[in-house]
Amino acid sequence: MKKFIFILAIAVALLPAALYTLYKNGYVKDLPSLKRATLAKVNKIISLKSRISSYKKPSSEGLVTLYLKNGSAISGQLIDETKEGYTMLWQGGEVVFSLGEVERLVRGGKAVEDKEGLLFEVNIPVEWPYNNDTVIMLTNGIVMDAKVTDVSKESITVGYSLEEGGTIEQELDRAKIEYMLFEPVSDDNSRRQKANLEKLFPKMEFYKVGNFTIVTDSYITWVKEYKSTLRQAYTDVYLTFFELFKDRKPRYQNFVVIFDDYRTFAEYAIADGVPAWAVLGYFRPDDKILYLFNSLGERYTDYLLEIWLGSKTRQIDRWADDMKEQYKGRYEKTIDGMAKDVKDRFWRYHNIIKGELRRQTMSTLRHEFTHELFNNWGLQNIIVSRVTGDRQRLIDKKKDFLETDDAAKKREIFIDLINMRSRQKLPEMEAANSWLAEGVATFSETDPPGSQNDRWLYVFQKMVREDAVYPLEYLTVYKIGSFPGVYRDAMLNAYAQSWAFVTFLMNRYPKEFMEYQRRLSEDSAKGQEDIKWLLEALGKELKPLEKEFVKYMDRYEDLEDPFAARYERMLNIFNEFRM
């Protein structure tokens, strides 16, 4: 028996598949699924196996049997029963089952036999094998299982808990940190969310990386880039705003749905009431899901290739063939060389466009993921819309809308979706200020956060030239969504000024700005209290603060119109023809 116990310990610690082999061959009975237990619980069960030979089945007195939704059953003594779930004494140890896992509970009666007992799931790895809820991946490949206790611009401090009590601390150069990983949230809500997404997007794959799950139909090369971007964005946001995050934990698993095809994204966005033609991505707090379109997905990439290269290079090849025929084989190498030179220029043009689309996709991903993180950690509550009634009916309607190809039926379902949303009730105005939410998100678009963001800097500088900078009282009016109800140019200006103002506060008054955000996350500002709290945190009067803000932004060098600069860059490629 001791030999089997030793083998079991190694198998659970190193390879769940080996444990399954033992189970199949009858060496291990009633072992709970690894999916139902944390690493600590599994290790506890291993240690209890040394008493397996003396274990006796519970008597009918005080006996309860839990029948689980996965078809398993377990008999034991009920230790605790709460609204979250049940704690049972089983084989000398405590095992916890959440309420969402349990089909029914039967008190008394006969204990279930081995053949009726727990069903073991094959090859399910331990989800989070670390002691801390955050771990640090260093550039040299070392994983540091330690708690971050302090952060500065150059370094972070981590602490290790000692078994005999107390802690030791170590300082790490931030340049040596590759990224951080955050413990996943595996509660009933997250499982339900995953099930809903599987229903809506049956052809998409799920990729779980700590506290975020990517849902996409993109190729694996894109998935690797999504993972890298999201890992880095999570790390950057957490460390940049550490004073806000350090005493909190994520409330749910972050789901990120990335469509490889624009049409599918557009249809789903429209079903959500979002103008797909105006955005690359959006985060819905009510759903707690981020939706994004990969602007370099397979279909759109093929479209770009055809537009900028396919038709044009075929035309150039026809021109070259006509020239060679005209000169009866003379100058063939010269003509081929000229044709290649022209086609190379189109390739350069095409690659510039692809590079810009890639940057735009990834900056949008960072922007929207920042919204999701601040919402998840309870720091901001940006409310866009809310649908009353049966949420499951809404999901079913969306599924029908996406799956049908019948235009008439699609129109009918779309009208029904619109009507469902038209009955929504706006919540109390307790959400974070739009300028704060969008300012923090635009601040975090760049890698690293706070780098010069030319897109928004140019718009803000244009506002200054046109004497169109908003008074802060106006900027703080919006508290729901992304500046709803204003025309496009005014919305862009609001985004630009939000980025500029957050950049100013993060650089001039970082500690005071963090304290202001903390207060907003813990209390609901009424009326104009939010701007009053900001002035109190900064120790400033309104008008002097506005002047200081505009003066601070004057330190940036004036930018060209990015659209004009891009046009000139493209034009220069073809101006090289003119000798």
Map 415-472 to HEC letters: HHHHHHHHCCCCCCCCCCCHHHHHHHHHHCCCCCCCCCCHHHHHHHHHHHHCCCCCCH
Q: What are phi and psi of 291, to 5 degrees?
A: -120, 135
In the chain, what percentage of residues exceed pLDDT 90? Answer: 37
Instruction: Tell me the per-residue pLDDT of 64-119, one tens digit each, with 9 for 90 and over.
Output: 888 877 667 778 888 788 877 787 776 555 666 777 778 888 887 777 764 445 44
Residue 186 tokens read as 């595996």
- If you compute the radius of gyration of the chain from its CA atoms, what whole number of angstroms results? 29
pLDDT at residue 427 in the model: 41
Q: Which residue reads 């619109």 in tokens?
A: 418
Q: How far apart are CA 396 and CA 416, in angstroms?
A: 12
Share of the chain above pLDDT 70, in %: 69
What's the whole-number average pLDDT of the chain? 77
Checking if the pLDDT of 434 tops 50, the result is yes
d(CA 45, CA 67): 20
Q: Where are the alpha helices (DSSP H) in 275-331?
A: 298-305, 311-326
Instruction: Please say if the pLDDT value at position 182 is more than 60.
Output: yes
Which range has the worst mean pLDDT, 26-30, 268-272, 488-492? Answer: 26-30
* Token output for 37: 């237990």
pLDDT, residue 264, reads: 86
> What is the rounded average pLDDT of the residues 530-558?
94
Structure token digits, residue 528: 């104009």
Asked if the model's pLDDT at residue 54 lies above 70, the reply is: no
Listed range (404-413, 445-454, 533-542) with the worst mean pLDDT:
404-413
pLDDT of residue 516 exceeding 90:
yes
Is omega for the bond preceding 448 within 30 degrees of 0, making it cis? yes
User: In the 8-state DSSP scheme, what is residue 95?
Assistant: E
* Nearest to 259, CA basis, from 367, 364, 344: 364
Query: pLDDT at position 35, please?
Result: 35
pLDDT at 308: 63
pLDDT at 305: 66
Q: Which range has highest mean pLDDT (81-85, 183-187, 304-308)?
A: 183-187
Strands (E), 99-176: 102-107, 134-138, 143-144, 147-151, 155-161, 167-173
pLDDT-based confidence at 546, cuts 50/70/90? very high
What element of type H or E holds 514?
helix 510-522
CA distances in angstroms from 6 to 13, 15, 316, 539, 561, listed in the order given: 11, 14, 73, 65, 69
At residue 338, the pLDDT reads 79
Residue 129 has pLDDT above 70, yes or no: yes
Residue 121 has pLDDT above 80, yes or no: no
Task: Give pLDDT, residue 487.
Answer: 72
Q: Are the C-beta atoms of residues 262 and 466 closer than 8 Å to each other?
A: no
Greatest mean pLDDT among 150-164, 422-436, 492-506, 526-540: 492-506
| 3-class secondary-structure state, position 516 | helix
Parallel, antiparallel, or unpaired: how do β-strands 281-284 and 205-209 relate? unpaired
Name the residue with higher pLDDT: 389 or 177.
177
Q: Report the range of poorest mean pLDDT among 127-136, 162-171, 259-268.
A: 162-171
Number of Cβ within a 10 Å radius of residue 365? 23
Q: Please give the Cα distance from 118 to 108 (Å, whole number).
A: 19
Residue-wise over 493-518: b if at least 16 C-beta within 10 A, else e?
A: bbbbbbbbbbbbbbeebeebbbbbbe
Task: Over range 394-413, report the average pLDDT.
Answer: 65
Q: Identify the residue with better confidence: 553 or 393.
A: 553
User: How many CB atoms within 10 Å of residue 67?
Assistant: 16
Each residue's pLDDT tens digit, 213-228? 999 999 888 999 999 9
- H helices of 138-180, in order, are none
Which of the four pLDDT bands, split at 50, 70 and 90, describes residue 10? Answer: very low
Determine contact, residues 475/435, Cβ cutoff 8 Å.
yes
